[in-house]
A and B are shown apart, each in its own frame.
Chain A
Amino acid sequence: MTTAVSEPRARRAEARPRVPAYVTASQRRVDRRSRRIAMLGEGPWRRRDRSIVVGGCVLALIGLGICSWGGSGEVELSAQIDWLLAGIGCVSLSSVCLAYWLLSGLRTVRIEVAQVFGTITPNRPVAAGAVAGSGFVTVAGMVRYHRRECPLVEGKSTRAVDPAEGLRPCGACDSGDGVA
């Protein structure tokens, strides 16, 4: 009986060998580094987006430096204007890359919104008035029309509408495509 209890204990002690201090310090360093990478890498962007924006901005910065150096070495106005135009081109390049970065993030956020709305299923029945008509509904006082399953009209007393009535489409349920 005693041996049956002491044997697993010994096995556990074998399975957990003493780790030298320098190994744990190294593990801590690795953990810290991976946390830092996770902090920088977290977000609605892919690796390709990051490469594009960082590459574009670095290229633009290098180009600006070259243009500044080249422009300050010229004494003719026409040559300086050429350098100025090149510099404007560099700023435009960085602007395009930054706009791509923001649009890409916005797209991912929209996909996430759609997934959240797809996950949340309405547990209340839709009002009877919503069944008839074009498939779109609205609520008194609203200036937009929605799909029947849109969470913004869930549980409210709705009435069926036609998109041609002059209401604007809802941005949350994406009712602007005209397909109910």
Chain B
Amino acid sequence: MDIMTALRTQWDRIGAVAAILVGLVSLFLGYLGVSGTEYVVKQMPYMIANGLFGIFMLGVGTALWLSADLRDEWRELRALRIAVNEHGLAARDGEGVTGR
């Protein structure tokens, strides 16, 4: 599978991994910033900017990954239902033809 195909078919999982990585990097930078100063007033902007943004990105990444799983499950179920419907209709048509 080449990169473009992977991007097209797995865009949500790739986005999820990217969001989680961004969140982790943001949290780490926030940690570095907070640990570099001992004044709470100077630590607070790191908590707001890096800490909350990191948590936000982790949430987005998790939701994207779970929604990718849901999308796959839904696609499989829909394909199964369509196949069952078509098979049922075909079987009914076949019975109708042989019954005559």
Binding site for B on A (CB under 8 A): 39, 42-44, 57, 60-61, 64, 67-68, 71-72, 75-77, 80-81, 83-84, 87-88, 90-91, 94-95, 98, 101-102, 105-106, 108-109, 112-113, 115-116, 119-120
Contact = CB atoms under 8 A, between A and B. Distances in A.
B49 A72 contact: yes
A57 B60 contact: yes
A102 B44 contact: no
Given A39-B11, A80-B44, A80-B45, A105 B70 contact: yes
B56 interface: yes
B77 A109 contact: yes
Contacts of B41: 75-77, 80
Contacts of A105: 67, 70-71, 74
Interface in B6-50: 8, 11, 40-41, 44-45, 47-49
B70 A106 contact: yes
B8 A39 contact: yes
A94 B70 contact: no
B60 A68 contact: no
Interface residues of chain B: helix, strand, loop or mixed (majority): helix
Interface residues of chain A: helix, strand, loop or mixed (majority): helix
Contacts of B67: 43, 101-102, 105
B51 to A, nearest CB: 9
A157 B70 CA distance: 34
Contact of B81 (A61, A68, A116): A116
Given A39-B8, A101-B63, A116-B84, A91 B56 contact: yes
Nearest to A116: B81
A87 B63 CA distance: 20
